[in-house]
Each structure stands twice: as structure tokens, then as C-alpha cells.
Amino acid sequence: MLRHNLKIPHISTGDMLRAHIAAGDEIGEQSRGLLRSGKLVSDELVNELVRARISEPDCRSGIILDGYPRTVNQAGVLLDMMQQNGFRPAVIHLMVDYEKIVARLTGRRQCPVCGTLYSLTTHPPKVEGVCDLDGATLVPRDDDRESVIRERLDQYDMQTRPLLNYFRQAGVPVIKIDGAAASPENIMRHISDSLASLGLIDPSVYPREAPASEAGVTR
């Protein structure tokens, strides 16, 4: 929804790594075992993936980074890259109770063809087990097993949570949002409004109302 409304690319390092794994290339081979066990891929590897991606032409008017940075090292490299590219960063801190995260992720299914994510509880496909867009059979993601999710949450506490202070001290605005209480549309509007009030996006370029038909949501 953010990508659609802000008209800038969504860059997910997890999706990039999964694409390398599917392609069976060298980066994929390095990443496969780590992702399966909930461990983080090396800083050098993801830093280089992001550096290459954000130098592409479609990133000139801005980017949404998802799943990156996850360590203080990555954050430092990212701030340097952003400065070189003339980007002004903001952090969106979505807060959700860990037990809710586990419940959501264990019910998550992904289309192996187009990558669309479904949730058995909050966003099921129209026909059980089948992608709405292309009819492919949905599969749980390898890294969505409960033990792997708990390991990822531990890694988050140790390696990623300290970034909140790191960014605050670096003068980067941190937008705190309750990620559990509101609907996706309201969360999206809250994020867009916060970015606009920081002067990071032009409020006239994003729609105030999400098109209701698009997500199949009625008000």
C-alpha cells in the first residue's frame, strides 16, 4: 500500500535474498542455511545488495526499505549511502506484541509464483490454498516456522532494537506506530501523514483516501 501511494520502490532484503536462493546462485547458497535457522546474513552481503539496488534509476525519488538495516553496522553504512545519494531518512517503528507476531507469521502463506503474502486469519485467499492472482498453490515460507520466528525475535532484541537509539542519536526522525490496533489503511495513512509533516513527502502527491476497492475493504 505504501509503495502504491508514495509511488516509490519497496526494497525488501528478505525478498532479494529469497530471489537469489530461488535462482540457486552463489549469494543464494550462502544465504539459504542462515535464513532457515533464523540467523542474519552477513552485513557485507546485504550492504552490497542494498548499495547496488538503490543506485538504480527507479530509486531516485525515494525508497521504502524493509528488513534493512538490522544491525548497527548496517545502519552506519546505510546512513553514509543515503548521504551520498541525497536521501533524507526516517524510521517507521511498527510496534506489535511478540505473541501476536508469532500468531500472524505461523498463519502466513506465500505464492511461489508472484510472491503475494496471505494470512489464514486476517487476509485469506478467496479460494483456500490458492493465489487470487495466478492460481498457484500457496506454501508456508521456510522461515515462518515457530522456532525460527522465536529465534528471529531474539536476534531482533539483541541486534536490531538498539538501532532505535542509534538513529535518534544520529538525528533521524523515528515515527512510532501501534502496528496491532489499527487497520492497514489507517496505519498507512498515519505513516504518510507523519512523513508529510516531516517534509519528506509532498502531501499533494499521495491520496488521502486509499481506494476501497483495491484491497477489497469496505468502510
Binding positions for Zn ion, rule: CB under 5 A: 111, 113-114, 116, 131, 133-134, 136
Distances, alpha carbon 67 to alpha carbons 57, 70, 152, in Å: 21, 7, 12
Nearer to Zn ion by Cβ, of 102 and 136: the residue is 136
Q: In the Cβ-directed half-sphere of 61, how many Cα atoms lie within 13 Å?
A: 9
> Shortest distance, CB of residue 109 to Zn ion, whole angstroms?
11
What is d(CA 35, CA 31) in angstroms, rounded to the nearest whole number?
6
Please tell me the total number of residues recorded for the chain in this structure. Answer: 219
Question: What b/e string do you get for 33-60 counting C-beta neighbours within 10 Å, with b at 16 or more?
Answer: eebeebebbebebbbebbeebbeeeeee
Contacts of 9 (CB under 8 A, 6+ apart): 3, 58, 59, 63, 64
Nearer to Zn ion by Cβ, of 134 and 178: the residue is 134
Nearer to Zn ion by Cβ, of 138 and 191: the residue is 138
Residue 45 CA to chain centroid, in angstroms?
A: 18
Nearer to Zn ion by Cβ, of 139 and 217: the residue is 139
8 A C-beta contact, residue 8 and residue 191: no
> Shortest distance, CB of residue 2 to Zn ion, whole angstroms?
20
> Shortest distance, CB of residue 111 to Zn ion, whole angstroms?
3
> Shortest distance, CB of residue 116 to Zn ion, whole angstroms?
5
Nearer to Zn ion by Cβ, of 111 and 163: the residue is 111
> Shortest distance, CB of residue 214 to Zn ion, whole angstroms?
16
What is d(CA 108, CA 129) in angstroms, rounded to the nearest whole number?
11
Distances, alpha carbon 27 to alpha carbons 11, 36, 154, 175, in Å: 17, 15, 25, 33
Nearer to Zn ion by Cβ, of 56 and 134: the residue is 134
Nearer to Zn ion by Cβ, of 133 and 212: the residue is 133
- In terms of Cα–Cα distance, which of 124, 157, 152 is closest to 138? 124
> Shortest distance, CB of residue 19 to Zn ion, whole angstroms?
15
> Shortest distance, CB of residue 126 to Zn ion, whole angstroms?
12
